[in-house]
Amino acid sequence: MTKASDRDDPLTTGLIHHAYRPPAGFGAVPPAVHKASTVIFATAAALRARDWKSKSGYTYGLHGTPTTFTLEARIAALEGGRHTVLAPSGLAAIALVNLALLKSGDELLLPANVYGPSKELARQELAHWGITHRLYDPMDAAALATMIGPQTRLVWIEAAGSVTMEFPDMAALVAACRARGVTSALDNTWGAGVAFAPFDCGIDISMQALTKYPSGGADVLMGAVTTLDEALHLRLSATHMRLGLGIGANDAEFVLRSLPTLALRYAAQDAAARRLAAWWQQRKEIAQLLHPAFVGSPGHAHWAATCRAAAGLFSVVFDARYTTAQVDAFVDALRLFKIGYSWAGPVSLVVPYDLALLRGPQAALGKGTLVRFSLGLESADDLIADCEQALRSLG
């Protein structure tokens, strides 16, 4: 910006085209938060030469700022990938991958235990646009290999699966996709880049809801799509730009502030969840514990072969002798665990699910009511005491 001239109005122009510039040499631990819709070009020639793809410069706030480029680079490092694009929620990031890679006539394959809203997106929007989908059994890679047909373009993988926590043989699922030239996309929200290195498993795309562990504050919604392959990244980032999926500078600031404590929080919530899950395993009220780090939980051997940690999440299936109303009374009696979606924030949460409604009648799991626990940062002793007192309301 040019300096205001003496002829410019001091109450308007003079307040906008002011000569003061903050010193470039200002050093501080946190990165600066840059906000912009407009990015100013020095000359008309610079505007004409603009290039949003290479990230060699800035063109418009929607296409990135120094703050969002910093966050993208850090998420790419966390995931062990090369390129990241950011979206306004985890679900928006899932939608971005689908819209960038699928067109009318294509088929999408989703695991039967996929994150629920991802299935609804396929059932509603994608179906309206002529994109079909089928559900595959994530614990049967051979079945996936036979399901992949000439129209199949994209396979989503989740490890562990939402709510029921089955841990798949990712290498075998990816091999089935590779053998047929189909792109594989991992919903890596559970692993968060901490539990395992997603690209070592051979997947093409890693998506995660930064809403969960990377934010850690229960106050930000954001998603990230990370790739190793440059051509795939350019396809995703072109669709990202055309859809206008920008994120707010203050949300990027919150995630940047939380990333340095990600590994500490992940380890603390993992340890607390395993203590609580071990306590539940001894209780006669439950028929099944679903936590991939526990022997007997579906896919435990795959978890053990793949992971160095686990998220602070597990589910218990109450014995079928307890009605949904009784389990709800237990949930309502919890004092510290709050009832609500999402996870990885400071407050521990529970959500009751009806297994039959969630997975349909073929579910290999039991019939009882399931409660998912997500561990916050409270004392594990207090959380165990909370469950113990609430069980008295089970009747």
Ligand X SMILES: *Cc1c(COP(=O)(O)O)cnc(C)c1O
Q: Which residues are near ligand X by CB under 6 A?
A: 89-91, 115, 162, 187, 189, 209, 211-212, 221, 223, 342
Contact predicate 219/342, CB 8 Å: no
| Rounded distance between C-alpha atoms, residue 343 and residue 375, angstroms | 8
Q: Which residue, 188 or 288, is less far from ligand X as judged by CB?
A: 188
Contact predicate 328/346, CB 8 Å: no
| Rounded distance between C-alpha atoms, residue 183 and residue 156, angstroms | 9
Smallest distance, Å, CB 224 to ligand X?
Answer: 10
Task: State the chain's maximal CA–CA distance in angstroms.
Answer: 84
Strand spans (E) along the chain: 83-87, 107-111, 132-136, 152-158, 183-187, 205-209, 223-227, 286-290, 313-318, 338-339, 349-354, 369-374
| Rounded distance between C-alpha atoms, residue 229 and residue 207, angstroms | 14
Smallest distance, Å, CB 339 to ligand X?
Answer: 16
Smallest distance, Å, CB 283 to ligand X?
Answer: 26
Smallest distance, Å, CB 70 to ligand X?
Answer: 20
Strand partners for 6: none
Smallest distance, Å, CB 21 to ligand X?
Answer: 37
Smallest distance, Å, CB 118 to ligand X?
Answer: 7
Strand partners for 316: 289, 371
Contact predicate 70/31, CB 8 Å: yes
Report the residue closest to ligand X, judged by CB: 90
Closest CA to 272 of 334, 192, 347: 347
